[in-house]
A and B are shown apart, each in its own frame.
Chain A
Amino acid sequence: MLTNSTTNRRWLGFELSVLRRLKFNSIAIPFAGQPDLGWYLKFWGKQVLDNDLCQWAWWMSRALVENAGEALTEEDVSLALGEAYVPHRRLHNPALGAMMSEMDAVWFDNLWLNVQQIENEHRRALAIMLALGVGDYAFSFTPETMELRRPLSEAFLALWRNQRQVVDNGKENYSVNRDAHDFIRGARAELMFVRFPGPEGLAGLRQSVAGWRETWVRGTGEAWDQLIAAQRGRLGDDVVSKEHYLQMVSNFLARAKHIQQWAIAHTEDGFITAAEMGDVIKQFRRVDVSYNKDFSDVVGGRNTFIIVA
């Protein structure tokens, strides 16, 4: 089963509950992943600075966070889906052939080339976001359920017709595709919200939804290896000891000292406790309050904290 996150498991409703209680006008999110949080915060009138190392997350953020009102038109959709099933002599992105059926690989390969013809970058980002959703859709079927799967172009259209409203909140919202350490050092915001990547790092997500997404948007099967190499010694690298992981957290927080308030989400997974995370934070500043939501009564649920400092 593919997983759907580049960082720890997220609990969006809980995060919104906490952020509703904090006073801030602008927020920096260095490990954004899915841009849902930024999308909600735009509705609340906040200025959002989204960042993610992965290009797929960056494209989605551009579509929903940075985008101030552009919507995908019927012409854009026709352009994106034009002759999507027509095979060419070879795939532009050969890695797709190893990840999915030949027909699907042709469709995604053609779609990538087609969406590059959409001139407006935010509308192009919307098309890419929908295609990423189609990919998730395609991967969600097994041989037993394949009979329910619709043609990919139909799935694209269904997602297009059900897409979320693009919000213009009158603020300059940004989406950035950089290493989180570099991003946060230059970010000017009143609040930083962080979900740190898990100790398994990017390597543990190679077989996830994130893996295929990055392969598609970067156009190469080596995308994930390149990301892993770039994160050596930083959050996103895989670690085996608490000390190593907490040291990387500490190194990151040291670069965020200029941001007035931190809200750090941590889901206990048996490796790092909230207390240990709190101890690292207290190396830099006083912990004001911690919020707790316990989902651990069901399989897959976790005890989750957001520490405000």
Chain B
Amino acid sequence: MQAQQAPSAPLIFADAERPLGERLMKLALETDRIEGYTEPHAVMIARLAETIGRQVGLHGQDLTALKFAALAHDIGERGLKRNYLLQPNALSWEETLDLWRHPILGEQSAAELQLPRQTQLLIRWHQEWWNGQGYPDGLAGASIPVGARILRAVDSYCALISQRPYRQAYELPEAEQVIADLSGIELDPHIAKLLLAVVVAERRQREAEVWSVPPAFEPPSIHAVEESPALAAIDGEIPSPLYTPDTLTDFGAVERQDLQTAADAADAVDPEHQSLEPTKAPIEEHIAQVPEDLPLASSVPPVAKELEAIPTPVALPHEVLAAAPYGDVLMHQASDDESPAQTDVAHSAAIVHHDSARDEQQEPAPKIPS
């Protein structure tokens, strides 16, 4: 199902991008495997991110940096090497906080790979939320670079439509609904709107293609149609406000789709009443089951679906989290007469090696460069 759902257009690199881009493609596939993705997740993100990036006016090096960041966005998870990434249940808070280090580790790995600095920072900030509740830096709103906001949106969407170790893939319309619900919370509403326009258009195009390609789809035979309740309606036995016999004579892809919708509706007809009106009984039953004293719970949007199990407050083993490094800084010891500005040395791979080593230690002593 996921393979059918996933946007399948190839990712195109310009000549100048190709060597590094193809290298990152291989790396992305390996990272996807570590994360438990069964489809080319990072490639899908890169393609969508490029599309959205163009729409917001990115071009040249900015667009290249975005594509590279999309391919390598979860490269930091390679450094985690934690079993919980593939476990079928939701993460504990200890595991969640450990996982939250991956953008910083990703930034460091990107520096090791000598990716552009802009790409490194986009990787660092691809988990920042529009409302400031993301990680690692807690940036909010327009403080988050637009490339990182694009990555956040397309990463969320592509994760939703992919099967994960802890849940099934969302159907495309369902995923689109979640993206809409996350707007203003996790996602920049403007970026979310652009993304929705792209993915909805792609979905409709694919659906139209499915209906218009005979070898891949066997349209119902006239005989089969005649037997269906839908045709009964169309033939006038049961009046339908939607379909009349002449609409059957020359219908295109859209009409076929509508016909299928009508057939689906007919499937839900109560046989005793033989009405083409879709039955409302299940919905009414659902509403009736909602306790009166919890009127609000029934309106919880799907956004909360994955996170319904809110952990109850507990005292946590501090040592678990104390061992989690946040190693991404450059440190210099200052002499009495040395000002901090004199210690300014830019970020670079030099610190990466230092901090990667820290990852394996429990309480490392700070290294002070001589």
For chains A and B in complex, what number of residue pairs have CB atoms within 8 angstroms?
233
Of A17, A163, A167, which is within 8 A of B328 by CB?
A: A17
Of B135, B183, B293, B303, which is within 8 A of A78 by CB?
A: B293
Contacts of A3 in B (CB 8 A): 141, 143
- What is the bound-complex CA distance between A297 and B338, given in angstroms? 26
> Contact mask A272-309 → B, CB, 8 Å, 1/0?
01110111001000111111111101111101011100
- Inter-chain contact A163/B310, CB cutoff 8 Å: yes
A166 interface residue per 8 A CB criterion:
yes
A104 to chain B, nearest CB (A): 13
B138 interface residue per 8 A CB criterion:
yes
- Inter-chain contact B132/A16, CB cutoff 8 Å: no
- Inter-chain contact B313/A145, CB cutoff 8 Å: no
- Inter-chain contact B141/A140, CB cutoff 8 Å: yes
- What is the bound-complex CA distance between A290 and B339, given in angstroms? 9
CB nearest to A33 among chain B residues: B138
CB nearest to A19 among chain B residues: B326
Of B294, B304, B318, B327, which is within 8 A of A161 by CB?
A: B304
Of A40, A151, A168, A279, which is within 8 A of B315 by CB?
A: A168
- Inter-chain contact B340/A307, CB cutoff 8 Å: yes
Interface-forming stretch among B81-89, B186-194, B213-221, B263-271?
B186-194
- Inter-chain contact B97/A289, CB cutoff 8 Å: no
Contacts of B319 in A (CB 8 A): 45
Interface residues of A in 155-212 (CB under 8 A from B): 155, 157-159, 161-170
B324 to chain A, nearest CB (A): 8
Number of interface residues of A (CB under 8 A): 84
- Inter-chain contact A12/B136, CB cutoff 8 Å: yes
- What is the bound-complex CA distance between A158 and B187, given in angstroms? 14
- What is the bound-complex CA distance between A169 and B321, given in angstroms? 12
- Inter-chain contact B326/A17, CB cutoff 8 Å: yes
CB nearest to B302 among chain A residues: A158
- Inter-chain contact A148/B339, CB cutoff 8 Å: no
B273 to chain A, nearest CB (A): 35
> Contact mask B172-197 → A, CB, 8 Å, 1/0?
00000000110111000110110000
- Inter-chain contact A1/B184, CB cutoff 8 Å: no
- Inter-chain contact B296/A18, CB cutoff 8 Å: no
CB nearest to B332 among chain A residues: A290
CB nearest to B348 among chain A residues: A294
Number of interface residues of B (CB under 8 A): 78
A232 interface residue per 8 A CB criterion:
no
CB nearest to B147 among chain A residues: A298
A297/B118 contact (C-beta < 8 A), A136-B131, A155-B184, A275-B341 known: yes
Contacts of A293 in B (CB 8 A): 328-330, 347
Contacts of B299 in A (CB 8 A): 151, 153-154, 157
- Inter-chain contact B131/A43, CB cutoff 8 Å: no
CB nearest to A289 among chain B residues: B333
A269 interface residue per 8 A CB criterion:
no
B154 to chain A, nearest CB (A): 16
- Inter-chain contact A292/B345, CB cutoff 8 Å: yes
Contacts of A277 in B (CB 8 A): 340
- Inter-chain contact A14/B329, CB cutoff 8 Å: yes
B126 to chain A, nearest CB (A): 13
Contacts of B122 in A (CB 8 A): 298
Contacts of B328 in A (CB 8 A): 13-14, 17, 293
Which of B124, B326, B333 has the largest number of chain A CB atoms within 10 A? Answer: B326
A219 interface residue per 8 A CB criterion:
no
A155/B185 contact (C-beta < 8 A), A43-B316, A43-B321, A289-B334 known: yes
Of A148, A169, A170, A301, which is within 8 A of B183 by CB?
A: A148
- Inter-chain contact A34/B141, CB cutoff 8 Å: no
B301 interface residue per 8 A CB criterion:
yes
B57 interface residue per 8 A CB criterion:
no
Interface-forming stretch among A69-77, A238-246, A253-261?
A69-77
CB nearest to A140 among chain B residues: B184
A172 to chain B, nearest CB (A): 14
B1 interface residue per 8 A CB criterion:
no
17 contacts between A and B (CB under 8 A): A3-B143, A13-B103, A17-B329, A34-B138, A45-B319, A45-B322, A69-B313, A78-B296, A147-B193, A161-B300, A162-B307, A164-B133, A278-B340, A287-B338, A290-B332, A290-B340, A293-B329
A-side residues, CB < 8 A to B, are 1-4, 9-14, 16-18, 20-21, 34, 36, 40, 43-45, 69-71, 74, 77-78, 81, 133, 136-138, 140-142, 144-145, 147-151, 153-155, 157-159, 161-170, 273-275, 277-279, 282, 286-295, 297-301, 303, 305-307
